[in-house]
């Protein structure tokens, strides 16, 4: 029977091997392709990770002026149909003004009619309700 040799420790083996020269021969891209990134992401506790992020500090690093300089306002207006909303709003305001003017004109017409009937001493009960073509 042969005597058993002591089993070398991992540290002992690593001291004998030049780890740097081995790493230089490893194709890291090939090794990274073997990693399932989705499985790795599923293991990450996103809430815990986000708790570690200093949002205020992150926001202070954002150059809002540079960000806004990249915004194409004309394209934004087209995409949000803001032009149509403005046109509709303007049309609505114009319609209200016209309706108000029409109502005031009707009121002035009624006032002028009463004034003329009073000057001409006409009895309102004897007058027709409107033009003969419309009243029939």
What is the per-residue pLDDT across 17-33, written as a single tens digit (0 to 9) for each?
887 888 888 888 898 88
Cα–Cα nearest to 124, from 105, 110, 107, 106 = 110
Angle in degrees, 0-180, between the axes of helices 73-80 and 82-119, rounded to the nearest 10: 60
Does a structural domain hold residue 99?
yes
Does a structural domain hold residue 130?
no
Structure tokens belonging to residue 1: 């029977």
Does a structural domain hold residue 6?
no
Please give the pLDDT value at position 128: 83
Does a structural domain hold residue 30?
yes
Element (H, E) at 31: helix 28-33
First to last CA, the chain: 135
pTM (global) more than 0.75: no
Q: Whose structure tokens read 């205020």? A: 56
Domain limits for position 108 = 18-122
Does a structural domain hold residue 44?
yes
Does a structural domain hold residue 63?
yes
* pLDDT of 2 above 70: no
Please give the pLDDT value at position 71: 85
Structure tokens belonging to residue 63: 């150059």
* pLDDT of 1 above 70: no
Give percent above pLDDT 70 in the chain: 97
Q: Distances from the Cα of 76 to the Cαs of 70, 71, 82, in angstroms?
A: 11, 8, 8
Does a structural domain hold residue 135?
no
Number of domain units in the chain: 1
What is the per-residue pLDDT across 56-105, written as a single tens digit (0 to 9) for each?
888 888 888 888 888 888 887 777 776 677 777 888 888 888 888 888 88
Does a structural domain hold residue 90?
yes
Say which residue, 3 or 116, is predicted with more confidence: 116
């Amino acid at each position: 029977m042969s005597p058993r040799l002591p089993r070398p420790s991992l540290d002992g083996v690593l001291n004998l091997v030049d780890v740097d020269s081995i790493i230089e021969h490893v194709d890291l891209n090939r090794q990274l392709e073997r990693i399932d990134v989705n499985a790795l992401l599923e293991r990450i506790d996103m809430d815990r990770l986000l708790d570690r992020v200093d949002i205020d500090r992150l926001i202070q690093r954002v150059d809002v002026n540079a960000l806004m300089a990249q915004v194409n306002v004309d394209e934004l207006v087209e995409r949000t149909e803001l032009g149509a909303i403005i046109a509709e709003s303007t049309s609505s305001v114009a319609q209200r003004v016209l309706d108000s003017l029409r109502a005031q004109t009707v009121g002035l017409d009624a006032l002028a009619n009463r004034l003329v009937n009073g000057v001409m001493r006409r009895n309102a009960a004897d007058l027709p309700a409107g033009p003969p073509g419309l009243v029939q």
